[in-house]
Chain A
Amino acid sequence: DAKTTQPPSMDCAEGRAANLPCNHSTISGNEYVYWYRQIHSQGPQYIIHGLKNNETNEMASLIITEDRKSSTLILPHATLRDTAVYYCIVRLQDSNYQLIWGAGTKLIIKP
């Protein structure tokens, strides 16, 4: 079973910030939080990952709560091309790649 819980769907207006929540209440101390997204009929695309600290890259920001039981992916200025299924995954550092994926959040950006 997936170790994360995400809302099945969300809407966001184009140009606004999209905030995607993820619950991972059973995360252990050496497990990272990863975010991928999958645009229709394409392979998943890596977005960002983090352990304890907040992270930012050219695509998004990742905010992890102090107790690490939840996180939020932020797309600062959503565009129509950000419409996709977003997956939050936890995995052990240095583990094999048996990522356990949930159903993700279908994010729809509306004009």
Chain B
Amino acid sequence: DAGVTQSPTHLIKTRGQHVTLRCSPISGHKSVSWYQQVLGQGPQFIFQYYEKEERGRGNFPDRFSARQFPNYSSELNVNALLLGDSALYLCASSFGTGSGANVLTFGAGSRLTVL
């Protein structure tokens, strides 16, 4: 079975540019969450989407946005990139938001470098 897939795996951008990261959840999973992981630190929660609606937002500026599509895939968009946005961006999927959806399955991440 295919796991959580993310694209691109690596990308390099310059300050001020925009980036779109994509995530396809495990088949049957309806919830997608996004995390940012800076080198040497644990992941930080950015967004959670369930059934195309935002269900949670972390402490990130409005330059970060996301959406979920009818097929439950998701995009994370970051505008006006800063050097500090350089990080591994992780997508995780789960079946839902209730008690039967305790476990997050993560993708391998998209490594963003901002120059």
User: Which residues of A are interface residues toward B (Cβ below 8 A)?
Assistant: 2, 32, 34, 41-46, 49, 87, 93-94, 96-104
Shortest CB distance B53–A (Å): 11
Cross-chain contact B42 with A2 (CB below 8 angstroms)? yes
Check if B83 is an interface residue, CB within 8 A of chain A: no
Given contacts A43-B109, A97-B31, contact A102 B102 (CB under 8 A): no
Number of A-B contacts (CB under 8 A): 59
- Interface residue count for B (Cβ, 8 Å)? 27
Instruction: Please report which residues of chain B, range 31-86, place their CB below 8 angstroms from some CB of chain A when the two chains form the complex.
Output: 31, 33, 40-45, 48, 55-56, 58
Nearest chain A residue, comparing its CB with the CB of B45:
A98
Complex contacts, B107 vs chain A, CB 8 Å? 43
Complex contacts, B41 vs chain A, CB 8 Å? 101, 103
Given contacts A87-B42, A103-B41, contact A97 B99 (CB under 8 A): no
